Structures are given as C-alpha cells and as structure tokens.
Amino acid sequence: MADRIGKPVSQRQLRVGEMIKQSLSMIFMKNEAKVPEIETKLITVTEVRMSQDLKIAKAYVLPLGGKNADEIIEKLKKNAFLIRKILSQKVIIKFLPKILFRKDESFEYAEKIENLIKQTNK
C-alpha cells in the first residue's frame, strides 16, 4: 500500500491510523462527542489514513445507508475540534493529529464496478 507520492506506508502510520480509527468508532458509537444535530451512533469510520509525519489523519466515514452523507461530513468538519478533544482523552500519543473528515466513496465505487461487470456478462 502506497500513498499518492509513491512512498510506502510505514507500519507506524498503519498502527496509529488503526488506533485512531478504533477510538473514533467508539466515540461515535457511545455518542461521547455530543456533536449537535448528528446521531453519531449511525456513523461508520471505515478507514483512517495518516500523513507520513503523523500530524494529519484523514478519517473516511459513512453514515448508515449513506443518507445525507455530504451534510453529515460538513457537520463533522465544523465540530472536528470537539471530536479531537474527546479523542485526546482516549489516545495516548505524543502529538494528536489534526482530523480531516472525508466521505468514504469506496462502496459506491465498488457498486459501480460490480454493475459494469454485470453489464458485460449479459
């Protein structure tokens, strides 16, 4: 697995990313961040990718059923400081990374590919 520049992802990046993913998932599941207007229990954290210097974490999330995904991502972005504050109590790390929330489009992409395969098999 390599990032866009072509450098391989280090074991440390993978470990820290997985640790943050699990912590974010628990925070959302228990609704500990108290993000206004969002039922965080319905949000799935599918992946967290760390920058090489471990200062930025891109959290790929998807609301249940993909409903209102863009709206929910925007609310998460606006309240990232709140979520990061709760995360700082859960994760023991020298520097807590800045969290950037992104919509996980991998399921949509996989469905698109699957439909293309079905069309060619007909």
Q: What is the pLDDT of residue 4?
A: 55
Helix (H) or strand (E) holding 118, with range, is helix 106-121
In the chain, where are the structural domains located?
11-121
Q: What is the pLDDT of residue 87?
A: 92
Three-state SS at 62: strand
CATH class of 11-121: alpha beta
Q: What is the pLDDT of residue 68?
A: 82
> What are the C-alpha distances in Å from 90 to residues 6, 24, 83, 103?
32, 9, 11, 23
Mean pLDDT, consecutive 10-residue stretches, the chain (122 aa), reads: 65 93 93 83 91 93 83 90 90 89 81 80 73
Whether pTM exceeds 0.95: no
Would you state the torsion angle of the CA atoms of residues 109, 31, 29, 42, taken in this order, to the nearest 10 degrees? -40
- Name residues whose C-beta falls within 8 Å of residue 37's C-beta, 6 or more positions apart in sequence: 75
